[in-house]
Amino acid sequence: MKKCMFVLLILSSILAGCWDKRELNELGIMLAIGIDKVEDGYRVTAQVVVPSEVSTKTSTGRSPVIMFQERGETVYEAFRKITKKSPRRIYPGHLRMLVLGEDLAEEGIAESLELLSRNWELRSDFFVAIAKDRTAEEVLNVTTTIENIPANEMFNTLKTSEAIWAATRGFTLDQLIADLTSEGKEAVLTGILVTGEQEKGSSKQNMESITPSALIQYDELAVFKKDKLIGWLTERESRGFNGIVNEVQSSVTVISCPAGGKATIEINQVDSKMKGKINKGKPEVDINIKVKGDVGEVECLINLNKQETLVELEKNTKKYMEETINLTIETVQKHYKSDIFGFGEAIHRSNPKEWKKIKEHWDEEFAEMKVNVKVDVKLVHTSTEGNSFLEKLEVK
């Protein structure tokens, strides 16, 4: 009898459910949050789903999201004050995008991330971006077309762009905090901006037009020193950065043909390896990159049926990519002196004792260190065509 009573007690505690469960109709699902620095603290902007408008049965054609905004001395205070305006408690468990204002980034982002880093309701798969030349509020206030929920369009656009272009990259909060707290590596984040007429971006007409007045698009990578934004890479340098840190999934590169004209090489596989060492008492890094690609487009008169032609294209691709990598390293070393590549981590892995000696003045060592770059390119296919049909037209 006692055993039966004990089992019943255990079952009743399990079946009672979670103590803090909340019904779906009591929650406001937040898919994007923006944080801006203001004079008296922070401005938090929440992009929340309107349930009736994302349902095909009850939709009335109104906006599928609503923006709530509040100010506070801390991010947490501003977030809680939104309850003065929202009839539902804001739930961040399905967050897709965190957008940080450029002014906030220049002052430092660490304090504004503290709440998000410890919030148990947050998943770790949302992306973080910097609003370039705008506030986070302005970015979140633009309606979108292909995806009717702006947060989803921002998230999916970044995933697509990083997969096939290589100048952008999606950074999660966990990745960002790891870079901010790492010895021997600084952080970078992708920029997001609004193009066109900002003042018309929040209108319903912007969402319905075939040529929207305002669009959200991703830009180059932001360079950080500690937790402060100190500058931006160019598009070419951003692609070089992703090549160095082995984060290129696919891309295209335009090169010169042997006798003039241009060809576009589709990059299908990149394997980048970084190795640190101490050479004559000085830190040094070797970067070896192996690239596989195809001839994607030809705007010149070349014979792709000849092996020597492919060899020439491989040489030109190799030259362009090595120039891009070296340009990126030189820019970051001379202009920013911020080790966004993780060269310090590479030195630490290869020689922990030497790293202890130089880590306190790593900025100076990084700015002067030698980096050896080697790129090997192998072109595998010429797509569905051999020579270009331009040859038959005698287009030069």
Q: Is 331 helix (H, G, I), strand (E, B) or coil?
A: helix
The dihedrals phi and psi of 86, each to the nearest 5 degrees, come to: -95, 130
Shared domain check, 202 and 109? yes
Q: Which amino acid is at 97?
A: M
**pLDDT digits 0-9 by tens, 227-240:** 999 999 999 999 99
Shared domain check, 178 and 53? yes
| Domain end position, chosen among 232, 254, 275 | 232
- The Cα 376–Cα 343 span in angstroms is 21
Shared domain check, 259 and 228? no
Residues 326, 357, 227: CA angle, nearest 5 degrees: 60
Q: Do the domain assignments include residue 53? A: yes
Shared domain check, 277 and 207? no
Shared domain check, 155 and 82? yes
Residue 22 has pLDDT above 70, yes or no: no
Shared domain check, 190 and 47? yes
Q: Do the domain assignments include residue 347? A: yes
Residues 378, 383, 386: CA angle, nearest 5 degrees: 95
The pairing of strands 262-279 and 282-299 is antiparallel
Shared domain check, 81 and 175? yes
Shared domain check, 277 and 209? no
Across the range 314-321, mean pLDDT stands at 98
**pLDDT value of position 391:** 64
Q: Of 153-167, 204-218, 283-297, which gets the smallest average pLDDT?
A: 204-218
**pLDDT digits 0-9 by tens, 42-88:** 999 999 999 877 765 656 667 899 999 999 999 999 999 999 999 99
State which residues form the domain around 54. Answer: 23-232
Q: Do the domain assignments include residue 84? A: yes
- Best CA proximity match to 144, nearest among 78, 89, 212, 66: 212
- The Cα 367–Cα 372 span in angstroms is 14
E-strand ranges in 105-187 read 127-131, 171-172
**pLDDT value of position 164:** 94
Shared domain check, 247 and 221? no
- The Cα 140–Cα 132 span in angstroms is 13
Shared domain check, 262 and 221? no
Q: Do the domain assignments include residue 277? A: yes
